[in-house]
Amino acid sequence: MKREFFANTEAGECIERFTLKNSAGLSANLITWGATLTELHTPDRDGQLADVTLGFDEPAPWLKPHPFFGTIAGRCANRTAKGRFTLDGVDYQLAVQDGPNHLHGGIRGFDKRVWSAEPLLDQNAVRFTYVSADGEEGYPGELTVTLVYTLTDQNELQLDYTATTTKPTVINLTNHTYFNLAGGADILEHTLRINARSYAAIDATSIPTGLSPATGAMDFTTTKPIGRDIAGAKDEPGGGFDHSWALEGWQDFSRNSGADMNAALVSAAELYAPDSGRFMEVLTTEPAVQFYTGNYLNGVPGKNGKLYGRHGGLCLETQHFPNSINTPDFPTTVLRPGERFRSRTIYRFSVR
């Protein structure tokens, strides 16, 4: 493990960078700004390592607004309708900064905070911690969040989240990494399977209107190229996917996954890049995965002089459904004092 200075914020806070490597040569770079995954190097079928994530070469762009490259979204990831919810009879108003809705924790969510970090040398892991103050971004309760990134010798990047609160609150955490397993211009030739037979249909502001059968363009139960049906993605103006799929067995998911987190894991998705041979499986204890195809990337200057255009990368964000706090049929996102939020997601890499 390597630990080094990365940058200072405008307020003078120190940001650190950690590099994890495993016995197969995989490596992951992590920074304390947003507990962000900035690089992930994996081999192709010829054994050549390459970074399969979108982002920046220099520190400065990471500290400015960007499309959530590699960050942790919270306190409540995804959208909350009109930024409003009622909990135990109390009405709360959050920031509205995505059209009429609240998105990814607000104006200064977890992605724009400096987390503390502790290397776990015997586990090839780093534990990140952030304490979100009562009332921060409008959310009730002081929330203490930990996230452990572990790089295993089985070529897995494992993310373990825990959280506790001093007051009833809402929580929905996810990692927002954009992947491109080929290193090419876009991800349209990648093939994808999602372990879901239904998805959350959305209104014009991307708020779910309920679950619908995943048919036609929305059907990823059988592996297919992402570009095949992307123009026909339902509810998304101009084509492109940005929807939440209900993973098989989603009704059985709870806020606590029990003592054995591995027993609660399900396969969420399988992604493959034919050009490079890289294969990524996503496993999670969460009930849903948000599949987003970088529809709003518009020439963002990125790594190695690349301009990230539309569909230049994709996200597979394991999480609870958008707007769950206002949708009784969805698994709850409420966390109460005395409870412990727990969640695990694994990105497993191989080649074909």
Catalytic residue among 16, 39, 317, 320: 317
Single out the residue of 127, 13, 147 nearest to residue 73, CA to CA: 147
For the record, the structure tokens of 318 come out as 């394991």
Active site residue 66: no
Single out the residue of 264, 77, 255, 257 nearest to residue 168, CA to CA: 255
Task: Give 78's Cβ-side CA count (13 Å radius).
Answer: 31
Single out the residue of 303, 283, 315 nearest to residue 50, CA to CA: 303
Contact (Cβ atoms closer than 8 angstroms) between residue 346 and residue 155: no
What's 144's DSSP letter?
A: E
The whole-angstrom separation of Cα 120 and Cα 50 is: 25
Contact (Cβ atoms closer than 8 angstroms) between residue 178 and residue 54: yes
Using DSSP, state whether 86 is helix, strand or coil.
strand
Catalytic residue among 176, 190, 243, 311: 176
Contact (Cβ atoms closer than 8 angstroms) between residue 123 and residue 318: no
> Measured at the alpha carbon of residue 97, what is the angle toward residues 91 and 99, in degrees to the nearest 5?
100
Q: How many CB atoms lie within 10 A of CB 185?
A: 14
The whole-angstrom separation of Cα 22 and Cα 28 is: 9
Total residue count of the chain as it appears in this document: 352
Active site residue 41: no
Contact (Cβ atoms closer than 8 angstroms) between residue 348 and residue 277: no
Single out the residue of 293, 289, 279, 264 nearest to residue 195, CA to CA: 289
Which residue reads 């109390």 in tokens?
A: 90
Give catalytic residue positions.
176, 317
